[in-house]
Structures are given as structure tokens and as C-alpha cells.
Structure 1
Amino acid sequence: MNCKELKSFLDEKVILYNNPYFIESDPVQIPHLFTQKEDIEIAGFLSATIAWGNRKMIIKNAHKMINLMGNAPYDFVMSHSENDLERLEQFVHRTFNGGDFFTFTKGLQNIYKNHNGLEKVFALNQGTDNLQKSIHEFKKLFFEIPHQNRTQKHISDPLNNSAAKRINMFLRWMVRQDNKGVDLGIWKSISPSLLSCPLDVHSGNVARKLGLLNRKQNDGKALAELDKNLRHLDPIDPVKYDFALFGLGVFEGF
């Protein structure tokens, strides 16, 4: 396919998958449970953090996280007692355990109490081309509280050549102005043009088959290559093509 044909093909797949039916089998359904901005942010951040492995298990455990927070994530983050935190110890999703959940709760409290919230932190350090430095600076602030070193692995750093798939997915949910009702688009201080594709096995394999990606590893350099090509197809809303790449890989076995 030439560039025009490829864009037309992918635009059709975006229409096919970027609709409310996508929510039923995706962890984006968790932040959709809420209406308050801070609840949406925290529910989205925690759900994206554990978004690796079996999708049904991700969704099940994301619901469990929210239930452990009394179905009021912002209130829990800001007003929890030490006894409240004890019940988090029972949580586990793959390598993310109760101790990590405890630290993430404290980290989020610090972000909201001392740094004006998640949107402010990410907006403060946004670059002119992408949000990779924003993610890097966010991670530093998030872990300025006492924590176990092992917990840091649950937030990737793109400046260490990570594709940072999960946090880029979270940012897509929060920033992308989606008129189809999937991405929430509640952050207005960051342009969707700066978003990066949540690069994983599925989207990476499809991107290579379509000639959008040559690098074999799904790392930060591969993400930069994919971002460049997706921005060429649509400089205003490049990550809409995540729906096409992911849908082709997961639902069509492309």
C-alpha cells in the first residue's frame, strides 16, 4: 500500500474499533465508572498500571482495586487511615502486590496534596514533540516519598529507552479528545498531538507488517519511529491509530 492507501485502510479500522463497544473488553471501562475528575484520573492511572497480561484478569483486578478503595478512589487517596491501607495488602496482580498498592496510594496523595494533581504534573513538563520528558519528571515526583525500590518498576521511564506502554495508554485516555466515547479527554492543558501510541506486542507486530515500524524491539526507539510515522498520517490525532493497530492484532489476527 502507498501512504494514501495505508491511511485510508487505517482510518476505516479506527472507525470500526473506536466506538463504545470497545469499552466492554478494555480496562478503559474502569475510569468510565466515575464522573468526578480526580476519581477518573486515579481509577485510570491504577487500571493502566496493572494493564499487562490477560485482559479479563486486568479488568477483574482493576475492579478489585477500586472496591478496596471503597469505590471512591480520590477520597480514599486523600483521606485514608493506616487501617484503611492494611486492606490493600491482600491485593496482587502478577508482580504488582499490596505493598506496591500502598506506595501508589501514598504517591498519588503526594501528587494531589503537594503538586496540584496529575494533570498539572504532566502538563508542566510537556515538550514540543511528545510527553516523554513529562513521564520522566512525573516518575521522579511520584517516588519522592519513602518507597521500596522494587515498586519503581511499575512506572516506566521513556528516557531510559522504555516504550512506557501503560502510562502512554493512561495519557491517551486522559488527553485524547474522542468524540466516540472511548477516551475520556478530560485534560485540556495537553495537546493530543503530543500523545504516543501505547506500543505493545500486538500493535508492534501489526505496525511492522504495515511498514510503519522497522525496529524489532518494542522499546523507546521503536516508539519514536512509530510516533513519527503516525504523526505523518494524522499530526493532530496520531494515537487514534492505536485502535486500528490493536484491533487488527487482537481481534483480526492480522
Structure 2
Amino acid sequence: MNMVLLQQELKDFLDRKADQYNRISFIENDPIFVPHQFTLKQEIEIMGFFAAIFAWGQRKTIIQKSLELARRFDGKPYEFVMNHSGTDLKQLMGFRHRTFNDTDLLYFVDFLQRHYRQHESLESAFVPENRFTDMERSLIYFQQYFFDAPHAPVRTRKHVASPARNSTCKRLNMFLRWMVRCDEKGVDFGLWKQIDPSALICPIDLHVERTARRLGLISRQQTDWRAAVELTENLRRLDPLDPVKYDFALFGLSIEEELPIKLYPRIP
């Protein structure tokens, strides 16, 4: 069988699986459940950002800790960010999720307040000079912008990844998928319009990586930024306009079912 037919077979298979998992029923057990509890654009952004940053470990715990944080924000994260007093910040003390603690949280809130005082949406934090060019540049810019304050704690830097450090940037790429992708399925929000879905980079976690390697979508040995780019470039060959929709397929296949015995060769 020639490679064109193999690629079409893989596309058909992943299209079916993306459609299977890109559904409302997916939300309940995924960190995207957290921003779906809000309707105000800024609150979806804020709680989506925190849920994505917390996204390592068990999904149930990620959701629980994100909802705990929402309660500490009195259920109104945007209002809290914009109008909190020094006394209000005491409500955040003692918060912890794995290595993310209240020192990190206080700086995140400080950054969000400074940003929203100047901008209507968090999208502009990923679009340098109001002009999107490519995702690598945007993510490098965001990390630099996020830590441009002289009082930024050194310890907090580990929580915001950058391609400049060759990270896969899994959590930021996941957050961007939530904010940018737009379809009729009702999972991703599609709130942001300056970044085209075709430019997104597929998030790589252990589940996605395992499935992608078995399907011949990643050949690079290291799991780093270049691996994320390689995966996405291969997915763009299957769908140039919406490559990251296959995140649903790769993740769902890994955690809920076995792959077919047949393995596909690496896409040339």
C-alpha cells in the first residue's frame, strides 16, 4: 500500500476518534470543565488559565484544586482580580497544588490585574504588537511579558514554560486550544480571533505522546518543543485548518481504549 493511502487511512481513523471524543460528555472529567462553569469572557480566561497551569497529575485533582481556587476568589475571579484589597489576598494564603503555592498564586493574580487594567482580554498577552505571526514567537513573548515585573519571584518561573527553553509548553498550548478553537461541538470556547486555529501547536502529555509515537506521528527521541512542532506538522497534513482537533483523538485513544494492532509508519 502506498504512503498516500496509508496517510488517508490514518486520517479517516483519527477523524472518527476526534469526533467521538470532541463532545460535551468529554468536559466533565477534563480540566476544561473548570472554565465551563463561568460565562463572563474574562472569567473563562482566568479560570481556564489556572486550570491549564494546574494540569499535571490526576484530572480529578486538577479540577478540584481549580474549583477550590474559584471559591477563594468568592466565585467571581475577574472581580476579585480587579478589585481585591490586601485583606482579600489573605483568602489565597495556604493554597497549594503540587509545586504551585501561594507565592506563585499572588504573583499570578498581580500579573492578571496589571494586564486587565490595560487590556480587555488575555488574548493580547499572546499577540505581540497586536500582530500574530507564529506560535513559537507568541509563547516566547508571553513568558517574557508575564515576568516583566521586577518583583516576579524566581521560583514562579518554572510554572510558565517557553519554547526558548525547549519546553513542549503543553499547558499553555492546551489553554490556547481552549480559547482559540471554535466548532459546533461545544467543548473548546473559540473566544479569541487574532490567532488562527491552523497555527496552534498540539499539546503533548504522556497520553498524547504515547499514542502519537505508536501512530508514527513523532519520530524525535526527546519530548520537547521540536517534538511538539513535529507532531503538529504531521497533524496539519491530515487537516491543515484544524490540526489540533486531533488532540481529542490522541488523548482519548490513550486513556480509554487500545490502539489497533496495526501501527502506521512515520508520515514522510
Query: Above 0.5 in TM-score?
Result: yes
Q: 1:242 aligns with which of 232, 236, 247?
A: 247
Amino acid at match of 1:249: S
Counterpart of 1:170 in structure 2 is 175
Q: 2:147 aligns with which of 143, 150, 158?
A: 143
Structure 1 residue 100 corresponds to structure 2 residue 95: no
Whole-angstrom distance in 2 between the partners of 1:183 and 1:133: 23
Q: 2:157 aligns with which of 143, 152, 160?
A: 152
Q: 2:54 aligns with which of 50, 54, 64?
A: 50
Whole-angstrom distance in 2 between the partners of 1:198 and 1:222: 10
Percent identity reads 50
Q: 1:6 aligns with which of 10, 16, 30?
A: 10
Counterpart of 1:26 in structure 2 is 30
Whole-angstrom distance in 1 between the partners of 2:153 and 2:74: 25
Amino acid at match of 1:176: R
Structure 2 unaligned runs (5+)?
260-268
Deviations 1:135-183 (A, max 9, x none): 1111111112212101011010012211000000000000001210000
Pairwise CA distance, 1:112: 1.3
Pairwise CA distance, 1:238: 0.5
Pairwise CA distance, 1:115: 4.8
Q: 1:183 aligns with which of 175, 182, 188?
A: 188
Amino acid at match of 1:201: L
Pairwise CA distance, 1:91: 0.8
Whole-angstrom distance in 1 between the partners of 2:70 and 2:104: 15
Counterpart of 1:196 in structure 2 is 201
Deviations 1:35-92 (A, max 9, x none): 1111110010011000000111001001001111111111111111111112211211
Pairwise CA distance, 1:215: 1.3
Amino acid at match of 1:100: D
Count of matched residue pairs:
253
Q: Contact 2:17–2:248 at 8 Å: present in 1 too?
A: yes
Q: How does 1:117-132 map to 2 (within 5 A)?
A: 117-124=121-128, 127-128=132-133, 130-132=134-136
Structure 1 residue 225 corresponds to structure 2 residue 230: yes
Amino acid at match of 1:187: W
Q: Contact 1:31–1:41 at 8 Å: present in 2 too?
A: yes
Q: Contact 2:132–2:195 at 8 Å: present in 1 too?
A: no
Amino acid at match of 1:154: H
TM-score (norm 2): 0.91
Q: Contact 1:133–1:159 at 8 Å: present in 2 too?
A: no
Residues 244 and 114 of structure 1, relative CA distance in 2, 3 Å threshold: same
Whole-angstrom distance in 1 between the partners of 2:60 and 2:71: 17
